[in-house]
Amino acid sequence: MEGNVQEHNREIHDLARRHGLTENEARILHHLDQATELYERLPDHHNKDISSWMTYRKALSTLLMLRVVKRDHPEGWLTEAEEEYRKLAEEE
């Protein structure tokens, strides 16, 4: 059991290092990967739509990627609300 925990922690650490994620972001990505594997193993006779699953999985991964990009380049990736706030602050 302890070996499994250590292996899991190594996987999380490796994901975080390779992708520039925080530990919690890496855990989310890891769980997305696990959920995808489990979904793929579901029986096909109950409306298993892999294409839709992967569309949503990709969207969630993209949210994690955007967090990394914004963290590394905060000035270059502002949301519309952040840009508007910045413009208002500059006008004052």
Q: In whole angstroms, what separates CA 18 from the centre of its chain?
A: 13
Q: Vertex 87, ends 79 and 72: CA angle to 5°? A: 40
Query: How confident is the model over 8-43, as pLDDT tens digits?
Result: 899 999 999 999 999 999 999 999 999 999 999 998
Query: How confident is the model over 49-92, as pLDDT tens digits?
Result: 999 999 999 999 999 999 999 999 888 888 888 889 888 988 87
pLDDT of residue 41: 92
Question: For the chain, how far is it from start to end, CA to CA, in angstroms?
Answer: 60
pLDDT of residue 76: 83
66 neighbors 77 (Cβ within 8 angstroms): yes
- Token pair of 15 as six digits: 């994901």
Global pTM? 0.76
Query: Alpha-carbon distance 9 to 59, whole Å?
Result: 25
